[in-house]
Amino acid sequence: MIPVTKPFLPKEEKFQEYLDSIWDRQWLTNNGPLLNDFELKLKEYLGIDHLLFVSNGTFALQLAIKALNLSGEIITTPFSFVATTSSIVWEGCKPVYVDIDSETFNIDPSKIEAAITPQTSAILATHVYGNPCDIDAIQEIADRHGLKVIYDGAHCFGTNYKNRSVFEYGDISTTSFHATKLFHTIEGGAVFTRNPELLKKMAGMRNFGHSGPDTFSGLGVNGKNCEFHAAMGLCNLESVDEILEKRKSLSLHYYDRLSTLKARFPKLNRSKDYNYSYFPVLFDSEELMFKCLDKLELSKIYCRRYFYPSLSTLPYVDHTAMPVCDDVSRRIVCLPLYHSLTVSDLDLICRIILRVQNNQKAKPMVIDAYDGIIANNANPAINGHYIHK
Ligand SMILES: Cc1ncc(COP(=O)(O)O)c(C=O)c1O
86-108 residue pLDDT tens: 999 999 999 999 999 999 999 99
User: What is the per-residue pLDDT across 111-170, written as a single tens digit (0 to 9) for each?
Assistant: 999 999 999 999 999 999 999 999 999 999 999 999 999 999 999 999 999 999 999 999
Q: What is the pLDDT of residue 359?
A: 86
CATH classification (class only), 12-237: alpha beta
Ligand 1 atom 14: residue of nearest CA: 81
| Ligand 1 binding pocket includes 152 (Cβ within 6 Å) | yes
- Show which residues are catalytic: 181
**Position 362 confidence tier, pLDDT thresholds 50, 70, 90:** very low
Mean pLDDT computed over every residue of the chain: 92
| Ligand 1 binding pocket includes 277 (Cβ within 6 Å) | no
| Ligand 1 binding pocket includes 56 (Cβ within 6 Å) | yes
Q: Which of 65, 79, 176, 186 to mutate to test the pocket of ligand 1 (most atoms within 8 A of CB)?
A: 176
What is the position in ligand 1's atom list of the atom closest to the CA of 180?
Answer: 14
Distance CA 307, CA 343 (A): 26
Say whether 268 sits in a helix, a strand or coil.
Answer: coil
Query: What does the CA dihedral 38, 124, 280, 159 come to, rounded to 10 degrees?
Result: -40
Q: Which of 5, 54, 58, 61 to mutate to test the pocket of ligand 1 (most atoms within 8 A of CB)?
A: 58
| Ligand 1 binding pocket includes 189 (Cβ within 6 Å) | yes
Q: What is the pLDDT of residue 269?
A: 76
Q: Establish whether domains 12-237 and 240-383 are of one fold.
A: no
User: What is the per-residue pLDDT across 296-339, written as a single tens digit (0 to 9) for each?
Assistant: 999 999 999 999 999 999 999 999 999 999 999 999 999 999 99
**Position 270 confidence tier, pLDDT thresholds 50, 70, 90:** low
172 alpha carbon, distance to own chain's centre:
16
379 alpha carbon, distance to own chain's centre:
25
Q: Which residues pair with 279 in a beta bridge?
A: 335
User: What is the per-residue pLDDT across 201-230, written as a single tens digit (0 to 9) for each?
Assistant: 999 999 999 999 999 999 999 999 999 999
Q: 31: how many CB neighbours lie within 10 A of its CB?
A: 14
What is the position in ligand 1's atom list of the atom closest to the CA of 187?
Answer: 10
CA of 294 to the centre of ligand 1 (A): 27
| Domain edges within the chain | 12-237, 240-383
Q: 37: how many CB neighbours lie within 10 A of its CB?
A: 16
Q: What is the pLDDT of residue 383?
A: 28
Ligand 1 atom 16: residue of nearest CA: 81
Length of the chain: 389
Distance CA 55, CA 228 (A): 12
Q: Which residues of 191-229 are buried (b: 16+ CB within 10 A; e: fewer)?
A: bbbeeeebbebbbbbbbeebeeeeeeeeebeebbbbbbb
Q: What is the pLDDT of residue 369?
A: 34
Q: What is the pLDDT of residue 339?
A: 97
CATH topology of domain 240-383: Aspartate Aminotransferase, domain 1 (3.90.1150)
| Ligand 1 binding pocket includes 171 (Cβ within 6 Å) | no
| Ligand 1 binding pocket includes 57 (Cβ within 6 Å) | yes
